[in-house]
A and B are shown apart, each in its own frame.
Chain A
Amino acid sequence: MRGLKFIAFFFLLNLYNANSEVLDSLLLKADGYRISDTIRAGVLNSLAVELSSSDYEKGLKYADSAIVLSTAIKADKKLATAYFAKARNLSSGGDDSLAIINYQKAYLLYLKTGNFTACATSLQNMGISYYNLSDYSLAAERHSAALDIFKKVRNDRGTAAALNSLGIIAMEVADYTKAMELYFESLKLAKKIEDSTLLANSYSNIGIVYKNLGDLNKALVYQNIALQLNIKRQMAYETAKCYNNIAIVYSVMEQSDKAIESYNKALAINEKLKYSFGIASNYLNLGIELLATNKILEAYGSMKKAESLFKKIGDRNSEAVAIKVQSSLLMNAPDSILRFLKIPVSQRNTQCLSMHQKALEVFRETEDISNVADVESEMSTLYERMGDLKNSLHYFKEYSLHKDSMAVEDKKSEIERSELKFQFEAKEQQLKLENAQRSTALKEAEMKRKYYMAGSVCLLLLSGGAFVAYKQRKDVLVKKKEVELNAAVKESEFKALRLQMNPHFMFNSLNSIADFIDKNKSQTASDFAVKFSKLMRMILEYSEQQEITLKEEIDLLELYLKLESIRLSPKLNYHIDIDKEADADNILILPMLIQPFVENSIIHGITPLNNSGNIKISFLIQQNELEIVIDDDGVGMHAAKTTNERKSMAMKITSERIALYNEKYHANASLQLIALNPGTRVQLRMPLKYRY
Chain B
Amino acid sequence: MLKVVIVDDEQHCIDRLTMLLEKAKDRNIKLSGTATSVDEGLKCIEKYNPDLVFLDVEIGGKTGFDLLRSITSPTFKVIFTTAHDRYAIQAIKFCALDYLLKPIDEDDFNQAISKVVAIDNVPDISMQITELLKGIEAKPKKIGLPTINGIVFVAVSDIIRCQADGNYTEFYLNNKQKLVVSKTLKEFEGFLTPYNFFRVHNSNLVNLEFVKSYNKGKGGFLILEDNSTVEVSSRRKDELLKKLSLI
Tally inter-chain residue pairs, CB-CB below 8 A.
30
Q: Which residues, 46 to 103 on B, are CB-close (under 8 Å) to A?
A: 84, 87, 101-103
Specify which of A397, A527, A692 lies most central, judged by the most chain B CB atoms within 10 Å of its CB. Answer: A692
Q: Which residues, 529 to 585 on A, are CB-close (under 8 Å) to B?
A: 529-531, 533-534, 537, 585
Contact residues of A: prevailing secondary structure: helix
The answer to whether B29 has its CB under 8 Å from any CB of chain A is no
Chain B residues with CB under 8 Å of A585's CB are 186
- Verify A692–B101 contact, CB threshold 8 A: no
- Verify B101–A537 contact, CB threshold 8 A: yes
Chain B residue nearest in CB terms to A537: B101
- Verify B105–A531 contact, CB threshold 8 A: yes
Chain A residue nearest in CB terms to B83: A533
The answer to whether A275 has its CB under 8 Å from any CB of chain B is no
When chains A and B are docked, how far (Å) is the Cα of A531 from the Cα of B84?
15
When chains A and B are docked, how far (Å) is the Cα of A691 from the Cα of B236?
8
A692-B233 contact given A533-B103, A534-B105, CB 8 Å threshold: yes
The answer to whether B104 has its CB under 8 Å from any CB of chain A is yes
Chain A residues with CB under 8 Å of B202's CB are 586, 691-692
Chain B residues with CB under 8 Å of A530's CB are 103-106
Residues of A in contact (CB 8 Å), total: 15
The answer to whether B199 has its CB under 8 Å from any CB of chain A is yes
Specify which of A527, A533, A534 lies most central, judged by the most chain B CB atoms within 10 Å of its CB. Answer: A533
Q: Which residues, 249 to 304 on A, are CB-close (under 8 Å) to B?
A: none
When chains A and B are docked, how far (Å) is the Cα of A65 from the Cα of B152?
87
The answer to whether A400 has its CB under 8 Å from any CB of chain B is yes
Task: Indicate with 1 or 0, residue by residue over A648-692, a CB within 8 angstroms of chain B CB atoms.
Answer: 000000000000000000000000000000000000000000111
- Verify B103–A692 contact, CB threshold 8 A: no
When chains A and B are docked, how far (Å) is the Cα of A533 from the Cα of B104?
10
A692-B105 contact given A400-B87, A585-B186, A586-B202, CB 8 Å threshold: no
Chain B nearest CB, measured from A69 CB (Å)? 61
Q: Which of A397, A527, A534, A692 contacts B235 (CB 8 A)?
A: A692
Task: Indicate with 1 or 0, residue by residue over B223-247, a CB within 8 angstroms of chain A CB atoms.
Answer: 0000000000101100000000000
- Verify A691–B235 contact, CB threshold 8 A: yes
- Verify A529–B106 contact, CB threshold 8 A: no
Q: Which residues, 297 to 324 on A, are CB-close (under 8 Å) to B?
A: none
Chain B residues with CB under 8 Å of A400's CB are 87
When chains A and B are docked, how far (Å) is the Cα of A526 from the Cα of B106?
10
Chain B residues with CB under 8 Å of A534's CB are 101, 105
Q: Which residues, 173 to 199 on B, are CB-close (under 8 Å) to A?
A: 186, 199
Chain B residues with CB under 8 Å of A533's CB are 101-103
Chain B residues with CB under 8 Å of A527's CB are 106
Chain B residues with CB under 8 Å of A690's CB are 233, 235
The answer to whether B201 has its CB under 8 Å from any CB of chain A is yes
Chain B residues with CB under 8 Å of A691's CB are 202, 235
When chains A and B are docked, how far (Å) is the Cα of A449 from the Cα of B43?
85
- Verify A692–B199 contact, CB threshold 8 A: yes
Chain A nearest CB, measured from B120 CB (Å)? 30
Chain B residues with CB under 8 Å of A537's CB are 84, 101
Chain B residues with CB under 8 Å of A526's CB are 103
Task: Indicate with 1 or 0, residue by residue over A387-416, a CB within 8 angstroms of chain B CB atoms.
Answer: 000000000010010000000000000000
Chain A nearest CB, measured from B168 CB (Å)? 15
Chain A residues with CB under 8 Å of B106's CB are 527, 530
When chains A and B are docked, how far (Å) is the Cα of A531 from the Cα of B105?
7
When chains A and B are docked, how far (Å) is the Cα of A690 from the Cα of B102?
34
When chains A and B are docked, how far (Å) is the Cα of A690 from the Cα of B219?
14
When chains A and B are docked, how far (Å) is the Cα of A526 from the Cα of B105?
9
Chain A residues with CB under 8 Å of B235's CB are 690-692
Chain A residues with CB under 8 Å of B87's CB are 397, 400
Task: Indicate with 1 or 0, residue by residue over B26-52, a CB within 8 angstroms of chain A CB atoms.
Answer: 000000000000000000000000000
Chain B nearest CB, measured from A686 CB (Å)? 16
Chain A residues with CB under 8 Å of B104's CB are 530
- Verify A692–B186 contact, CB threshold 8 A: no
When chains A and B are docked, how far (Å) is the Cα of A692 from the Cα of B237?
10
Chain B residue nearest in CB terms to A531: B105
When chains A and B are docked, how far (Å) is the Cα of A400 from the Cα of B87?
10
Chain A nearest CB, measured from B222 CB (Å)? 14
When chains A and B are docked, how far (Å) is the Cα of A445 from the Cα of B199?
71
Chain A residues with CB under 8 Å of B103's CB are 526, 529-530, 533
When chains A and B are docked, how far (Å) is the Cα of A526 from the Cα of B233?
45
Chain B residue nearest in CB terms to A404: B84
Chain A residues with CB under 8 Å of B84's CB are 537
Task: Indicate with 1 or 0, residue by residue over B194-227, a CB within 8 angstroms of chain A CB atoms.
Answer: 0000011110000000000000000000000000
When chains A and B are docked, how far (Å) is the Cα of A527 from the Cα of B87?
27
Q: Which residues, 500 to 542 on A, are CB-close (under 8 Å) to B?
A: 526-527, 529-531, 533-534, 537
When chains A and B are docked, how far (Å) is the Cα of A537 from the Cα of B103?
11
Chain A residues with CB under 8 Å of B102's CB are 533
Chain B residues with CB under 8 Å of A529's CB are 103
When chains A and B are docked, how far (Å) is the Cα of A537 from the Cα of B89?
14
When chains A and B are docked, how far (Å) is the Cα of A26 from the Cα of B40?
76
Specify which of A397, A526, A530, A691 lies most central, judged by the most chain B CB atoms within 10 Å of its CB. Answer: A530
- Nearest first, the 10 closest Cβ-Cβ pairs linking A and B are A692-B202, A692-B233, A530-B105, A530-B103, A692-B201, A533-B103, A586-B202, A692-B236, A529-B103, A690-B235
Q: Can you sample 26 A-B contacts with CB below 8 Å?
A: A397-B87, A400-B87, A526-B103, A527-B106, A529-B103, A530-B103, A530-B105, A530-B106, A531-B105, A533-B102, A533-B103, A534-B101, A534-B105, A537-B84, A537-B101, A585-B186, A690-B233, A690-B235, A691-B202, A692-B199, A692-B200, A692-B201, A692-B202, A692-B233, A692-B235, A692-B236
Beyond the given A531-B105, A692-B202, please list 4 additional residue pairs across the A-B interface where CB-CB is below 8 A.
Answer: A534-B105, A690-B233, A692-B201, A692-B236
Seen from chain B, the residues whose Cβ lies within 8 Å of a Cβ on chain A are: 84, 87, 101-106, 186, 199-202, 233, 235-236
